[in-house]
């Protein structure tokens, strides 16, 4: 009994339009298969044959082979016309009552991902007496919380309206953090520039 392993090789490769018809297939050994793809690569110069030859000959490993395939593959290009067709299909689709009910039953008791941002816990600014989502609070009202006074619209989100006392307190908090000396120096430089601008 022979231990030889055979492969089925496409005479005209599939990437060149070859089919799985018996007339396009040939039974050869692994070494012959690698050699066939080497010859095809030298004749035609296609990356698919190069990778098949190197992979079958053991010249590159599986990880490198997959990386090369990923790097060389062509991504499908979706035209604007195709996008419009897909949009129209989604808009004009007919959904039965049964399907609507199944979707409704599926989502009952589960958080809707589209509503996730709306379901965030709201924050309240005591100075401005406004309630908002956490992102806007952090962006426009954190200074109100620190200084205890309303921040003018032109300065919202900018730390330049902080008093020297608050800057020092902030600086102390930064020193107590576990940060590198380069990060600490960047914060100190930033504080120095702010102080110069204020005077």
Bridge partner list, 131:
124
Angle at 173 between CA 171 and CA 176, to 5 degrees: 110
Kindly report whether the global pTM for this prediction surpasses the value 0.85. Answer: no
Give the pLDDT of residue 90.
82
* Mean pLDDT, residues 170-180: 66
Rounded percentage of the chain residues whose pLDDT exceeds 90: 19
How far apart are alpha carbons 84 and 174 in whole angstroms? 52
66-106 pLDDT per residue, tens:
888 888 876 666 788 888 888 888 887 888 889 889 888 88
Tell whether the model's pLDDT for residue 167 goes beyond 60: yes
Return the number of other C-beta atoms located less than 10 Å from residue 164's C-beta: 9
Rounded percentage of the chain residues whose pLDDT exceeds 70: 75
Give the pLDDT of residue 154.
45
Judge whether 111 and 119 are in contact, CB under 8 Å: yes
Among 138, 173, 140, 144, CA closest to 156: 140
121-162 pLDDT per residue, tens:
778 888 888 888 777 777 777 777 777 776 555 454 455 555
How far apart are alpha carbons 22 and 60 in whole angstroms? 30
8-42 pLDDT per residue, tens:
999 998 888 888 999 999 999 999 999 999 999 99
- Mean pLDDT score across all residues of the chain: 79
Collect all residues with Cβ–Cβ distance below 8 Å to 139 and sequence separation of at least 6: 156, 157
């Amino acid at each position: 009994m022979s231990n030889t392993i055979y492969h089925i090789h496409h005479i005209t490769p599939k990437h060149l339009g070859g089919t799985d018809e018996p007339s396009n297939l040939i039974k050869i050994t692994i070494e012959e298969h690698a050699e066939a793809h080497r010859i095809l690569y030298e004749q035609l110069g296609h990356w698919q044959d190069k990778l098949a030859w190197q992979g079958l000959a053991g010249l590159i490993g599986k990880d490198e082979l997959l990386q090369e395939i990923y790097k060389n593959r062509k991504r499908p290009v979706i035209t604007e016309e195709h996008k419009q067709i897909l949009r129209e299909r989604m808009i004009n689709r007919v959904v039965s009552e049964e399907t609507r009910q199944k979707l409704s039953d599926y989502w009952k008791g589960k958080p809707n991902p589209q509503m996730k941002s709306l379901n965030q816990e709201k924050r309240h600014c005591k100075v401005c007496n406004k309630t908002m989502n956490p992102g806007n609070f952090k962006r426009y009202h954190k200074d109100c919380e620190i200084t205890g006074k309303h921040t003018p619209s032109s300065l919202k989100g900018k730390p330049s309206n902080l008093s020297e006392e608050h800057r020092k307190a902030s600086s102390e908090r930064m020193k107590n953090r576990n940060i590198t000396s380069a990060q600490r120096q960047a914060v100190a430089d930033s504080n120095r520039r702010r102080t110069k601008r204020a005077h």
